[in-house]
Amino acid sequence: MRTELARLSPTEASFEDISATLQARLTEFVRLARTNQYKVGVAELLQVQSAILLIDPFNIRELRSLLKTTLCSELRDWQRFDELFDSYWQPLRTKKTLRSSMGSQNALTKTSANETGAKSERSGQADEAASGGSDESTGEGYREGASRTTTLEKIDFGSITDPEQMRAMELEVERIARLMRKRLSRRSRLDSRGTKIDLRKTLRTSLRYGGETFELARKKNKARQPRLMLVLDVSRSMSMYSFLFLRFARGLSTLFRDSSVFAFHTQLIPITDALRQSNLARVRNSLAMMSQGWSGGTQIGEALTQLQNRYGSWINSRTLTVIVSDGFDTGEAEKMSDAMRSLSQKSRRILWINPLLGRDGYQAETAGMKAALPWIDSFVGAHNLETLRQLDREFARLA
C-alpha cells in the first residue's frame, strides 16, 4: 500500500485512493479526540486524511506519529495522546478497563497483511488497529477510557487523597500560575499625546514633505505591570487547599517581578523568600515551625490589619491584592469590614479567591465573607483546575 500511496502527492490523490474504511476510522478517531477536548476540527481531519498518503498506515509507529504530531497542540494533549491512541487503535494492548469499552467491526483493507515475515508483525498490529470498533455507541466508552488525565481538570482540590494525583495536580497548578502572569511589556505605543518622540515614525512622516520634519510622532510607555500581593489563608478550614495554593503562589511570584506573598491564620507571616526555596514541603514545615497556629483558627480581619500596619508601604495604587480564603472567620465581622475598606482604598484592586465558591450549594453567607464582599472588586471560585485556569481572565481584567 505504501508504495502505491507514496507515488501520490496529497494534492493529486483523491480520497478514493485510500481505503474508505481507513478514512472512516480516521474520521472517527479525530472525532474521538475532539470529544476528549483536543482542539481539532475539519481542518485537522483533512490534514490527516491527506497526510496518511505519506506514511504506511499499517505501521502503527508511523500512524501514531502522524496523528500525534497533527492532532496535539499543547503539552496536555501530548501527555495523554498515547493512552487515547492505544485505546482506539490497539485496544488489546491497553488496560482491561479500557478494553471493555471497545467494539469490533470495520476491518481495514489489509493489502500488506501477508507479504513478508517482517510485515506480518505490522499487519498484526494493523489487525489490532482494525479491530478497534467504529460504531457510534463506542464513542462514549473511549471518552471514558481516555479521560483519566482529563478528569484531573474537574476534581475538587479538597477531595484528592491519592498522592500521585496530588503530585500531578500540584505541578499543574504551578504551571497554570506561570502561564497566568500578565506580562509587562517594555514596548511603547504611538500616542499623539505621548511624551517621547518616535524617531522612526517621524522620519517616515517627513518623507511626504520631501524630508522636512513638519510633524512629530509621539509615543508613550505602556501601562506598567501591577504589583502583586498574595495573601493566603492557611487555617484549618483551608488545609485541603492551602498546599496547592502555596504552589500557585510560588508560580505567580517567580514570574511577577514585583510580588510579595503572605500566609495567615491568626497571625500574618511573610513567605515570599520562603517560597523561593525549591522544596515546598520544606517551606510548609518551616512555616509550621514559624507559627503554632498553622491549620488553626482564622482571624482574617486581624491579619489584614497587621498587613496594612506592618507592610503598608507595600500597598499602593499599583497593588493588585489577591486574597485566597474560604472566608470562615473567627474574629469580629466589624474588624473584617474595617480592614477590607481600608485595604480597598489603598490597593488598586482586590481579587478574592474562595475555593468553596463554585461548589454546589455554597453561598457566601458567613459573617466574615458578608462583611468583606462590598470591598471586593472580583469574587471568584477556584476549586479545581478548570476554574483555576479561568482566573487568567480576572487577572487580565483587574491588572
Partner 1 sequence: MTEAIDTFDQFGQRLQSAGYIADSELSSALWLFHKMQRPLLLEGDAGVGKTEIAKVLSKVFDCPLIRLQCYEGLDLNAAVYEWNYQQQLLAIRTAEADQANQRAELEIFSRKFLMERPLLAAISQNRSPVLLIDEIDRADEEFEAFLLEVLSDFQISIPELGTVSATHKPFVILTSNGTRQLSDALRRRCLFHYVDYPSFDKELRIISTRLPEVGIRLARQIVGFVQDLRKRDLVKRPGIAETLDWAAALMHLQVESIDQDLNLLRSSMLCLLKTQEDASSLEDFEIERLVARAI
| CA torsion, ordered 111, 115, 116, 122, to nearest 10 deg | 10
Find the shortest distance in angstroms from Cβ 77 to partner 1.
8
- Please report whether residue 216 would count as binding partner 1 according to CB under 8 A: no
To the nearest 10°, the Cα dihedral for 182, 186, 192, 195?
120
Backbone angles phi, psi at 322, to 5 degrees: -115, 120
Distance CA 300, CA 313 (A): 20
Q: How far is the CB of 42 from partner 1 (least distance, A)?
A: 11
Please give the size of the binding site for partner 1, defined by CB under 8 A: 46
Does 137 participate in binding partner 1 (rule CB under 8 A)? no
Residues 49-88 vs partner 1: string with x where CB under 8 A? --x--xx-----xx--xx-xxx-xxxx-xxx---------
Question: What is the x/- site pattern for partner 1, positions 374-393, by CB under 8 A?
Answer: ------------------x-
Beta strands at 188-190 and 218-221: parallel, antiparallel or unpaired: antiparallel
Least distance CB 281 / partner 1 (angstroms): 9
Q: How far is the CB of 59 from partner 1 (least distance, A)?
A: 9
| Contact status: 164 vs partner 1 (CB under 8 A) | no
Report the relative pairing of strands 227-233 and 259-264 from DSSP bridges. parallel
Residue 280 as a binder of partner 1 (CB under 8 A): the answer is: yes
Q: Smallest distance, Å, CB 56 to partner 1?
A: 9
Of 24, 92, 179, 197, the residue at the interface with partner 1 (CB under 8 A) is: 179
Contacts to partner 1 from residues 249-268, by CB under 8 A = 254-255
Question: What is the spatial distance between Cα 205 and Cα 217, in angstroms, rounded to a whole number?
Answer: 8
279 binds partner 1 (CB under 8 A): yes
Helix runs in the chain, H state only = 2-6, 20-35, 42-51, 60-71, 75-89, 96-99, 117-131, 138-145, 163-180, 199-206, 239-255, 272-275, 280-290, 300-310, 333-346, 367-372, 385-389, 391-398
Asked if residue 193 binds partner 1 (CB under 8 A), the reply is no
159 binds partner 1 (CB under 8 A): no
Q: Choose one: 25-33, 129-137, 171-179, 368-376; the region binding partner 1 (CB under 8 A).
A: 171-179
Strands 196-197 and 218-221: antiparallel
Q: Work out whether 13 is an interface residue with partner 1 (CB under 8 A).
A: no
Helical packing angle, 239-255 and 163-180, nearest 10°: 40
Single residue of 207, 289, 313, 363 touching partner 1 by CB under 8 A: 207
Question: Interacting stretch for partner 1, rule CB under 8 A, among 16-24, 106-114, 177-185, 380-388?
Answer: 177-185
By CB under 8 A, tell whether 183 contacts partner 1: yes
What residues contact 390, with CB distance under 8 A and at least 6 apart? 380, 382
Task: Spell 68-95 as b/e; 16+ CB within 10 A means b.
Answer: eebbbeeebbeebbebbbbbbbbbeebe
| Contacts to partner 1 by CB under 8 A | 6, 39, 43-44, 47, 51, 54-55, 61-62, 65-66, 68-70, 72-75, 77-79, 175, 178-179, 181, 183-187, 200, 203-204, 206-207, 210-211, 254-255, 276-280, 392
